[in-house]
Amino acid sequence: MIELREYQEDALAALERDWESGLHRLGVSAATGTGKTVIMSHLAHRYVRRGMRVLILVHRDELVRQTVDKLVRIDNSVSIGIVKAGENSASAAIVVASVQTACRPRRLAQLGKFGLIICDEAHRSVADQWLTVLRGLGALSGDGVGPRCAGFSATWVRADSRGLDTVWEKISFELPIEWAIEQGFLVRPIGKYIRTDIQLDGVRKTAGDYNAADLGEKLSRESVREAIVTGYLTHARERSGVVFAPTVDTGQYFREGFEAAGITTGGLYGTTSREDSRLLHKQHRRGDVQLLVSCTRLSEGWDAPWCSAGVIARPTVHEGLFIQMVGRILRPHEGKTDAVILDPTGVLFRHSLNGTIDMTSSERPESEADSDDRDDDELEKPVEVDPDAGLRARVAGYEDVELIRSDRPYLLTDGGIPFSSLAEQELWFVVGPERHAHPWWSVGSWPLDGRAPSWVRVGLTQEQAMAMLPDRNTIPAPVLRRRPATNRQRIKAAVVSSHLYVRGMTAGQLFDAVQIRLASRALDSVQSWT
């Protein structure tokens, strides 16, 4: 019997409250490794006890078996059926189905009615196959009589134009990764950027992300492979690990380099048979194989808590995929206190592990290739050229990268003065007793257009003053913060400071970087305030 942790009980309670309020399609955002499958399984059994049938939808065969295993360990007295490929136990009390199978008209008609539908990795739920199933079972009817729906994901954000709010009405419960790390449910990530000579400018895009074949060409060079292998030997020599590569050929090329360096490896791809996959997992767990090399097959649903090192040699513009890859190796294990994340392309500078919930549609036009749900084991035809991918790398050495960034509503100047922006050219800042002769805290405004700064409020406590700072996470708008920085932004940044190295910064990250430079010049130069 797998018992629920307190936060898992809280997640179920939040769902029930929102369902009772009249909502039908609710989401849970929980960091990879915090037990989403356990929550899903307990939820399923609770609804069976209420006399309802439950459908759990997953998108990969491996996830079917993992989910069934959790369900059985919680209660083996309930009939649990599988619907995928040659298996068709569609009349069971709990049905675990592959969405690729369930969407077929004949299979869909055989499923019958459910009181609850649970969607695993629910960020995929707006893809055509998922929508076919949800519509076919009445979950999207909008008349309030269809089955309740619960979606679970660590990454409620997509890289294409399909908004998750077309399916999901509310995120009822959110469990941030930083909280899970602080509480010891996940281990601390250590980010290491390996400086190489990779230049990703001009890499084409397919379906909203870097084209896998182009990435393979960029990464399949001796200098890059040598840097990756050397980086692993330097920072993770004794660790069990995984390498995410853009293509199978690139993965095999990396394997040759690691094997030559004395590190045993195994390749696990979409074409790897089930029997070979099971053998590799056993060898990896025993330590007979130190390193698994894959594309994105292991980025979801793969549990290997003994693994404590990862090489992200598959750069991505999609924050969700990045979080899924890194999250695979953060599960705790006996003797494991942290996990090393090695990055040879600069992707650590583009994303953090904090995660973003973005349910809305983007402004990008819909297209046939506009799908965020393909695996990189399938090479796609390029449909877009991105002349300014924005990722840069320098040659030689390593750089520490903070993977969990502060979400505080203000920034700090180089001299430590808290500030935020009312608009692009107006800063609000806070100074305390250490910066002026008064025993209070003050909030000031500096327009940065030639006018002198002025006080907005004085005579405050520190808490009152900090509360007055505008929330910098809303400026620019949240949707703009996640988009790639534009050429216009980069030109402006170069005018502000020639030393800003923008790497793969988003629009929001570059906006903050420019604001810090401007605020530091304006505020840190003042010796004391009156």
Domain boundaries, the chain: 6-175, 182-401, 411-523
pLDDT band of residue 357 (cuts 50, 70, 90) is low
pLDDT-based confidence at residue 39 (cuts at 50, 70, 90): very high
Please state, rounded to an integer, the average pLDDT across all residues of the chain: 84
- CB count within 10 Å of CB 113 equals 11
Q: Say whether 182-401 and 6-175 share the same fold.
A: yes
Cα separation, 276 vs 266, whole angstroms: 10
Contact 342, 311 (CB under 8 A): yes
For residue 471, what are its two tokens?
Answer: 């929330």
Mean pLDDT along residues 51-78: 92
Return the closest-CA partner of residue 174 out of 148, 149, 154, 159. 154
**What pLDDT sits at residue 505?**
62
pLDDT value, residue 503:
53
Residue 32 three-state SS: coil
441-446 vs 454-460, strand pairing mode: antiparallel
Cβ count within 10 A of residue 229: 21
Q: Residue ranges of the alpha helices (H) in 137-202?
A: 177-182
Domain 6-175's class? alpha beta
Domain 182-401 fold = Rossmann fold (3.40.50)
Mean pLDDT of 508-512: 78
Percent of the chain with pLDDT over 90: 46
Instruction: Give the closest residue to 448 by CA, choosing from 429, 466, 467.
Output: 429
E strands in 51-169 = 54-58, 80-84, 87-88, 94-98, 116-120, 148-153
Selected residue with higher pLDDT from 199 and 71 = 71
pLDDT digits (tens, 9 = 90+) for 158-172: 767 678 989 999 999
CA dist., res. 27 & res. 151, Å (int): 4
Backbone angles phi, psi at 478, to 5 degrees: -50, -40
C-alpha 105: how far from its chain's center? 33
pLDDT band at 356, cuts 50/70/90? low
**Structure confidence by residue, pLDDT tens digits, 171-187:** 999 887 878 887 889 99
Total H helices, total E strands in the chain: 16, 23
Specify the pLDDT at position 376.
43
pLDDT at 368: 35
Check if the beta carbon of residue 320 is closer than 8 Å to that of residue 483: no
Distances in whole angstroms, Cα of residue 453 to Cα of each of 77, 444, 463, 528: 71, 7, 22, 13
Burial 67-76 (b: 16+ CB within 10 A, else e): bbebbeebbe
327 — pLDDT class (breaks 50, 70, 90): confident
213-222 average pLDDT score = 89
Return the residue matching tokens 């990862």: 310
**Cβ neighbours around 158 below 10 Å, total:** 26
Which of 355, 57, 315 has its CA nearest to residue 210? 315
Distance CA 25, CA 29 (A): 14
Q: What are the residues whose beta carbons fall under 8 Å from the beta carbon of 278, sequence distance 6 or more?
A: none
The DSSP letter of residue 506 is B
